[in-house]
Amino acid sequence: MHRETKYYILIAIFVASVVAANFMGNKIAVFGFFDAAVGILVFPLSFLALDVIQEVEGRETARRIVLATMLVLTYLLVITFIATQLPSAQRDFFPEEYNKIFGISVRVMIASLTAFLISEFLDIEVFRVIRTWTQQKMLWLRAAGSTVVSQFIDTTVFMFLAFYGISPKHDAMYLILLVIPYWLLKSTVAIFGTPLVYAGVRWLGKPEKNVPPEQPVR
């Protein structure tokens, strides 16, 4: 498979994971001894895919992909919001069910977009700092470390922007108690997925000759 094709596949995985996490998040599933939104399974994968791209292609490429994905996500969320607000025709099959599944408030939409942008850019910067600090060694540390930090910010920002004050019980302490288990689960998925970063870097391979190569993974 051509390297360019592999690169586009990684970008597609990143975008698909972000979109899936946002649109699957309405379902709360049972994960053994705790409950969580099913989107929690795929969102950490977006960070791992981005880590692979940043490791091989560099920081600026990763930032451009995040901005492009932000535009895609904004477009999808706005279109979805408009679709749920339009009146249903008489021959519409399941109008109520459709609106329940795809319905999204403006507040939740803004919270989702804000949390995504902040956390993804933070992931890129933490990855860069750790890479410099370790002299481009220990890929596992920057892959896991950047994701753990950014996932905490992502979960915290979203929870507080989306749900703070919507009812008397949704105070700061209540939301913090929600953030911690979600963050721990996301971090666990990311840490166990670290070998995928190594595999992804080797699978993608070095940049073409006209692009300054990155240091090999150690």
35 DSSP β-pair partners = 30
**Which has the higher per-residue pLDDT, 59 or 102?**
59
- Is residue 7 in a domain? yes
Query: Based on the structure, what is the number of domains in the chain?
Result: 1
C-alpha distances in Å from residue 99, one per residue of 18, 35, 81, 102, 105:
21, 24, 9, 5, 11
- Is residue 215 in a domain? no
Question: What is the CA 65 to chain-centroid distance, rounded?
Answer: 12
Q: What is the CATH number of the domain that holds 159?
A: 1.10.1760
| Residue positions counted in the chain | 218
Question: What is the CA 93 to chain-centroid distance, rounded?
Answer: 33
pTM to 2 decimals?
A: 0.83
- Is residue 188 in a domain? yes
Structural domain of 170: 3-204
C-alpha distances in Å from residue 10, one per residue of 2, 23, 181, 204:
13, 20, 28, 9
- For residue 57, which phi and psi values (nearest 5 degrees)? -95, -20
The pLDDT confidence band at residue 70, using thresholds 50, 70 and 90, is: very high
What is the Cα–Cα distance from 112 to 148, expressed in whole angstroms? Answer: 18
The answer on pLDDT for 144 being more than 80 is yes
- Is residue 92 in a domain? yes
Query: Of all helices (H) and strands (E), which one includes residue 71?
Result: helix 59-85
> For 8-67, how does the pLDDT look when each residue is reduced to its tens digit (9 = 90+)?
999 999 999 888 887 776 677 787 766 777 777 787 788 888 999 999 999 999 999 999
